[in-house]
C-alpha cells in the first residue's frame, strides 16, 4: 500500500437517490359478506338507529313536529318540551352524559360504539349492502373492477351510484328536516323554493354521506376520526377487545377436516384468511390488537363459521380481554374484572348526572321573569303622600300552553301594583314586556321612610301556584 492510499480514504460510490412517499397509497378493500350472531346484532342496530333517524322528524306532537331544533326562532321542541336559549344547561348536561357514556362503553367494551352505532359504520354497512346487491360479493366486485369499461360495467356502476346518491340525499334532507319543518321542506324541495342554507346543508350532508360511506370508508376511521386517536387512553388490560387466541390457533396451517390437528402438531387456525377477507378495514387480527380495528366483530362471525365447518369449538377469535388471554381467566373471572373500580366510577357518575339533569328538567319552571327599573323616572309623587316607581316587567312563558298570571308586590307596608293589566295573559311560548308601577305611601306611622327599600315582585300563574317567580328590586323615595 503506498502513502497516497494511506491518507486519502476511498469514498464509496453515492447510492442512487430513492424517493420515499410519506403517504400510504390506499389499497381498495373488498370486504366479503358475513352472517352470524354478531352480524345480526349489527343489522339490528342499523335498523334501530335508522328507523329513529329517518322517522323521528315525521312524528307529530300537539299539532307540530315532535322534534324540531328551530334555530331561527331559537327554540328546541322535543315532544312536549320547549327549550329556550336560557336552557343551554340541559344541552351541556346532554353533552356531558354522551361523553361519560362513551368513556364507560370504551372502558368496558372498547370500540363498541365504532363497530355498532357510529354513523360512519352504519352508513358504510348500508352502502356495502347496496354494493353487494348490485355488483355481487367480494370476488365478483374484484373481477368487475379489473374488467375494462363496458356497457354492462357502466350500467352496473351507474345503478350503484344512483342508489347511493338517493340514500345520501335522503339522509341530507332528513338532517335538515330536524332544523326546518320537514314536510314543508319537502314541498319546497320539489317546487325548487328552498332557501340557500337549506340547499347548502342538504347538498353538503348528502355528498359527505356519499363520499364517506361510498369511497372513504375505513380511511375515515383510520385517519380522520379523533375518537380513534384518544381512545387508547381509555383502554386497559381488562377492557373487552376482539382478539385472536394465538395459544389455541398457532401453529396455524391448512389441513383437511379429517386430520387430527394435535397429532399433526397444528393449532386450530386453518389459515383460511376468512377473518381478513371479511374485515372492513382489511387488517389481520391474528397480528394482535391494532388501532385500525373498529370492533365490528365481522372476523368473529367469519372465523366461527370456519370453526363450525372444521368441527372445532367456536371462539378462536372472540370478545375477551388482554388479561384473560394472558392469564387464562374463565368467563366468570373475566367479567368480574371488566366491572372494575374504573367502570363502576364511570357508571356512578353517569347515573348521578343523568338523574340530576332529569330531575332538574322535570322541575324546570316554565316561567321566566325579569324586572328592569325605568332609569328615566326613578321616583315621583303620583299624588299627595304617595310615591310611585316605574319598571319594565319582562315575562316569558316557555310552556307549550297559554297562561294567565297575577302580578303582586311585597316588602313594604302599603305597597300596591298599578299600571299593569291583571291578569297578565301570555300565549304559549311567548314573551311580553309590560310597564309596571309600584306605589307606596311616603310616610310610615308619620315618619319619613328610608331612601331605598328592597321589594319583591311576584308573578304567579293562575291555577298553578307552582309556576311562580319572585324577583327582587328596589323601591326609592325621593329625598
CB 431 within 8 A of CB 397: yes
Nearer to ligand SF4, 244 or 391 (CB): 244
The number of C-alpha atoms within 13 Å of 264 and in the hemisphere containing its C-beta is 17
DSSP-derived secondary structure letter, 58: G
| Start-to-end CA span in the chain (Å) | 117
Q: Are 261 and 268 in contact (CB under 8 A)?
A: yes
CB of 242 to ligand SF4, least distance (A): 4
Cβ at position 90, least distance to ligand SF4 in Å: 36
CA distance 278 to 283: 9
Give the Cβ contact number of residue 117 at 10 Å. Answer: 15
Binding site for ligand SF4 (CB under 6 A): 242, 244, 249, 252, 269-275, 278-281, 283, 285-286, 293-299, 302-303, 306, 316-317
Q: Please name every residue paired with 410 in a beta bridge, in sequence order, or none if there are none.
A: 456
CB of 329 vs ligand SF4, minimal distance in Å: 21
- DSSP type of residue 411: S
* Nearer of residues 249 and 366 to ligand SF4, judged by Cβ: 249
Residue 297: name the closest of 67, 93, 42, 467 by CA.
42
Quote the least distance from Cβ 325 to ligand SF4, whole Å.
Answer: 14
The residue among 206 and 295 lying less far from ligand SF4, judged by its C-beta, is 295
Could you tell me the smallest distance in angstroms from the CB atom of residue 306 to ligand SF4? 5
**136 — alpha (psi -120 to 50), left (phi > 0) or beta?**
left
- Closest distance to ligand SF4 from the beta carbon of 123 (Å): 16
Residue 39 or residue 393: which is nearer to ligand SF4 going by CB?
A: 39
CA distance to 31, 187, 279, per residue, from 273 (Å): 12, 51, 10
Q: Cβ 346 to ligand SF4, closest distance in Å?
A: 23
Which residue number, 57 or 302, has a Cβ lying nearer to ligand SF4?
302
For ligand SF4, the closer of residues 273 and 365 by Cβ is 273
Burial 384-402 (b: 16+ CB within 10 A, else e): eeebbbbbebebbbbbbee
CB of 248 to ligand SF4, least distance (A): 10
Question: Which CB sits closer to ligand SF4, 128 or 194?
Answer: 128
Q: What is the smallest separation between the CB atom of 276 and ligand SF4, expressed in angstroms? A: 7
Q: Which is nearer to ligand SF4, 85 or 265 (CB)?
A: 265
Least Cα distance to 366 among 246, 475, 257, 459 occurs for 459
Backbone conformation region of residue 365, classed left if phi is above 0, alpha if psi is from -120 to 50, else beta: beta
Strand partners, 370: 394
Amino acid at each position: 500500500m503506498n502513502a497516497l492510499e494511506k491518507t486519502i480514504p476511498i469514498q464509496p460510490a453515492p447510492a442512487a437517490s430513492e424517493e420515499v412517499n410519506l403517504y400510504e397509497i390506499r389499497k381498495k378493500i373488498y370486504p366479503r359478506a358475513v352472517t352470524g350472531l354478531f352480524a345480526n346484532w349489527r343489522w339490528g342496530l342499523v335498523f334501530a338507529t335508522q328507523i329513529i333517524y329517518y322517522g323521528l322528524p315525521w312524528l307529530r306532537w300537539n299539532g307540530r313536529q315532535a322534534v324540531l331544533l328551530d334555530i331561527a326562532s331559537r327554540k328546541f321542541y322535543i315532544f312536549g318540551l320547549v327549550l329556550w336559549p336560557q336552557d343551554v344547561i340541559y344541552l351541556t348536561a346532554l353533552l356531558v352524559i354522551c361523553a361519560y357514556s362513551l368513556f364507560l362503553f370504551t372502558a368496558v367494551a372498547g370500540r363498541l360504539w365504532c363497530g355498532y352505532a357510529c354513523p360512519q359504520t352504519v352508513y358504510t354497512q348500508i352502502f356495502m349492502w347496496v354494493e353487494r346487491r348490485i355488483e355481487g360479493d367480494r370476488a365478483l366486485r374484484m373481477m368487475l373492477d379489473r374488467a375494462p369499461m363496458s356497457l354492462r360495467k357502466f350500467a352496473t356502476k351507474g345503478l350503484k351510484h344512483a342508489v347511493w346518491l338517493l340514500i345520501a340525499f335522503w339522509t341530507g334532507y332528513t338532517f335538515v328536516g330536524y332544523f326546518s319543518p320537514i314536510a314543508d321542506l319537502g314541498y319546497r324541495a320539489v317546487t325548487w323554493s328552498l332557501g340557500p342554507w337549506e340547499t347548502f346543508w342538504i347538498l353538503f350532508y348528502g355528498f359527505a354521506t356519499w363520499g364517506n360511506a361510498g369511497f372513504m370508508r375505513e380511511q375515515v376511521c383510520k385517519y380522520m376520526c379523533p375518537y380513534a386517536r384518544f381512545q387508547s387512553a381509555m383502554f386497559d388490560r381488562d377492557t373487552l377487545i376482539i382478539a385472536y387466541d394465538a395459544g389455541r390457533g398457532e401453529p396455524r396451517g391448512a389441513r383437511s377436516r379429517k386430520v387430527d390437528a394435535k397429532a399433526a402438531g397444528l393449532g386450530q387456525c386453518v389459515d383460511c384468511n376468512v377473518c381478513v377477507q371479511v374485515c372492513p378495514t382489511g387488517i389481520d387480527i391474528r397480528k394482535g390488537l391494532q388501532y385500525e380495528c373498529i370492533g365490528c366483530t365481522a372476523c368473529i362471525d367469519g372465523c366461527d363459521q370456519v370453526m363450525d365447518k372444521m368441527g372445532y369449538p367456536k371462539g378462536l377469535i372472540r370478545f375477551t380481554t388482554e388479561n384473560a388471554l394472558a392469564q387464562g381467566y374463565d368467563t366468570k373471572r373475566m367479567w368480574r374484572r371488566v366491572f372494575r373500580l374504573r367502570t363502576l366510577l364511570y357508571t356512578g357518575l353517569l347515573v348521578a348526572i343523568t338523574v340530576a339533569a332529569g330531575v332538574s328538567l322535570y322541575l324546570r319552571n316554565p316561567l321566566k321573569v325579569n324586572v328592569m327599573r325605568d332609569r328615566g323616572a326613578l321616583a315621583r309623587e303620583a299624588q299627595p303622600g304617595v310615591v310611585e316607581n316605574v319598571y319594565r316587567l319582562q315575562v316569558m312563558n316557555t310552556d307549550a300552553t297559554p297562561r294567565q298570571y297575577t302580578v303582586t308586590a311585597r316588602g313594604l307596608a302599603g305597597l300596591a301594583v298599578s299600571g299593569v293589566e291583571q291578569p297578565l295573559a301570555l300565549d304559549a311560548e311567548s314573551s311580553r314586556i309590560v310597564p309596571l308601577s309600584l306605589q307606596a305611601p311616603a310616610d310610615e306611622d308619620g315618619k319619613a321612610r328610608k331612601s331605598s327599600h328592597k321589594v319583591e315582585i311576584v308573578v304567579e300563574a293562575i291555577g298553578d301556584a307552582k309556576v311562580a317567580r319572585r324577583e327582587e328590586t328596589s323601591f326609592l323615595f325621593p329625598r
